[in-house]
Amino acid sequence: MLDSKYIEENLETVVKKIKDRGAEFDTESFKSLDQERKRIISQVEKLENERNVGSKKVGELRRDGKADEAGELQTELKEKSEQIKQLSEERKKADEDFRDFLLTVPNIPHDSVPVGDSDADNVEVKNWGKKREFGFEPKDHVEIGKALDILDLDRAAKITGARFALYKGLGARLERALANFMLDLHTGEHGYSEVLPPFMANTASFIGTGNLPKFEEDLFKIQGTDYYLIPTAEVPVTNIYRDEILSEEDLPLKYAAYTPCFRSEAGSYGKDVRGIIRQHQFNKVELVKFAHPDTSYEEHESLTENAARVLELLGLPYRIVVLSTGDMGFSSAKTYDIEVWVPAENTYREISSCSNFEDFQARRASIRFRPKGGGKVRLVHTLNGSGLAVGRCVIGILENYQEEDGSVRIPDVLVPYMGGVQEITV
RNA sequence: GGAGAGGUGGCCGAGUACGGUCGAAGGCGCUCGCCUGCUAAGCGAGUAAAGGGCUUAAACCCUUUCGUGGGUUCAAAUCCCACCCUCUCCGCCA
């Protein structure tokens, strides 16, 4: 959520920046909702003040034994109270309308973000690793997984439905090994604290991160409750500090969480239907930071590096792109996507999305800190990124490390996590 | 699921029997000053947030907020109702 005062004072910038994102900022609605709200507020508050002054007087009169006068005044105030009650309803409505409006306005892109319409305008900022020259036609992860009997999508479909996976044997082990490896790396070398949050969160939490009210169709809701399955650990972890005031010296706070993620993938019918690229349920290690506003962009760079480090240690070629204004997520001010090389598709595939939300989420979730020398509390900046999506890492390993005989070599760093297994063979 | 206790400021914690003088004692923490060879201790002062008005800005004024939402009342932290959460005991359970 943007600061309404900031919008008011920088209307032109806001309109332009939102337009860069391919959305539209409705200036007229903003102005009329804001004015209507302010008009009612001053009206109500004037009446409330009169009532409060009067009530105090009643108390004094009664104490002085002037019951008659007090009674008269009470009758008068009763009427005023009725008015207040009515106007308060209007005020509530006006406040809600205004907030609802603000909640649907996306974040403003950072100045360093390339302006563009779509992913075609994203800009590559880094390219790492050497793509392997296969002396044979590389198979895709579905074929490899099936041949090695480590991935069974048909039976997963029987158990649940499309877009679910059943990992078996060393496949299941590989998933677990990757998760453990990533967590150890981020907690041991990158300074993140491990957390294991709930896999469901309530409406307030989802509003805090910006997933609600706009994107409910992307979520799985638990019937009969106020809970949704999390589509990413970003939701529960960012909300750890919702409605709290932190100390400046505690910043930045860095968390790593390994959780399953659940996404309805509404609107992606027919897209990425093959394999485990796009699933209703997948596992992910998520990195989340609560940063000081002055240093959040440095934290953004280091978070992205921390995530990319996983791929470097795994020896998987990747590139990093800055998302253009037209391709960014709703809450983000700047996003880097890390994309892993997928040989069978002869393309790069997103494996991590690292964003700085600045104070957009913090304002919604009311996450603040108290400056060291005293003074007004300020909103923190929140950041997060996958570090990494485990299932897509499996794809990367299976496809990049496959041999002509159908076996798959295990990257050295994972071997200890695989109980010494160095390759998966038929 | 059953019975009971409780949710108050950055934190701890009084206040709720008799509604008004309670944005709320006291303590801790923090900030500033004094004091001390340094540190600690001590002394003094200050220290909630959000919104609105006014303003270049600040000061200032007003409103709201004592788990959440309703209700009673001229007036609610305090009375009534519903819900949420925490703790203790019982039952059930991985």
A110 found inside a domain: no
My answer on whether A129 and A71 are in the same domain is: no
Q: pLDDT by residue (tens digit) across A117-134?
A: 999 999 999 999 999 999
> Would you say the C-beta of A314 is within 7 Å of strand B?
no
- How many domains does the structure of chain A reveal? 2
My answer on whether A309 and A411 are in the same domain is: yes
Through-space separation of residue A226 CA and nucleotide B4 C1' in angstroms? 28
Q: pLDDT by residue (tens digit) across A95-121?
A: 989 998 998 999 999 999 999 999 999
Through-space separation of residue A335 CA and nucleotide B66 C1' in angstroms? 42
My answer on whether A48 and A189 are in the same domain is: no
For residue A95, give both structure tokens: 């406040």
Q: pLDDT by residue (tens digit) across A290-305?
A: 999 999 999 999 999 9
> Would you say the C-beta of A41 is within 7 Å of strand B?
yes
From the list A176, A278, A349, A378, the catalytic residue is A278
From the list A339, A364, A392, A399, the catalytic residue is A392
My answer on whether A230 and A360 are in the same domain is: yes
Nucleotide nearest to A50 (CA to C1'): B62
My answer on whether A284 and A408 are in the same domain is: yes
Q: Helix (H) and strand (E) counts for chain A?
A: 12, 15
A62 found inside a domain: yes
DSSP letter string over A135-149? SS-PPPHHHHHHHTT
> Would you say the C-beta of A99 is within 7 Å of strand B?
no
CB burial of A26-63 (b: ≥16 within 10 Å; e: otherwise) equals eeeebeebbebbeebeeebeebeeebeebeeebeebee
Share of chain A above pLDDT 90, in %: 78
A278 in active site:
yes
My answer on whether A333 and A248 are in the same domain is: yes
Extended beta strands in A154-301, E state: 193-195, 200-202, 227-229, 244-247, 253-262, 281-291
A353 in active site:
yes
My answer on whether A42 and A191 are in the same domain is: no
Q: Quick one: how far is CA A196 from the chain centroid?
A: 17
Nucleotide nearest to A77 (CA to C1'): B74
Confidence class of residue A309 from pLDDT cuts 50, 70 and 90? very high
d(C-alpha A360, C-alpha A368), whole Å: 12
d(C-alpha A37, C-alpha A31), whole Å: 10
Q: Which CATH number characterizes residue A193's domain?
A: 3.30.930.10
**End of a domain among A42, A68, A103?**
A103
ipTM score for this prediction: 0.87
My answer on whether A219 and A359 are in the same domain is: yes
A57 found inside a domain: yes
A263 in active site:
yes
Through-space separation of residue A96 CA and nucleotide B63 C1' in angstroms? 18
Q: Which nucleotides of B are covered by protein (CB under 7 A)?
A: 10, 20-21, 30-32, 46, 48-53, 62-64, 70-71, 73-75
| Domain around A84 | 26-103
My answer on whether A89 and A124 are in the same domain is: no
My answer on whether A55 and A82 are in the same domain is: yes
My answer on whether A148 and A259 are in the same domain is: yes
A10 found inside a domain: no
Through-space separation of residue A371 CA and nucleotide B57 C1' in angstroms? 21
Confidence class of residue A340 from pLDDT cuts 50, 70 and 90? very high
Residue A344: per-residue pLDDT: 94
d(C-alpha A107, C-alpha A210), whole Å: 10
My answer on whether A170 and A252 are in the same domain is: yes
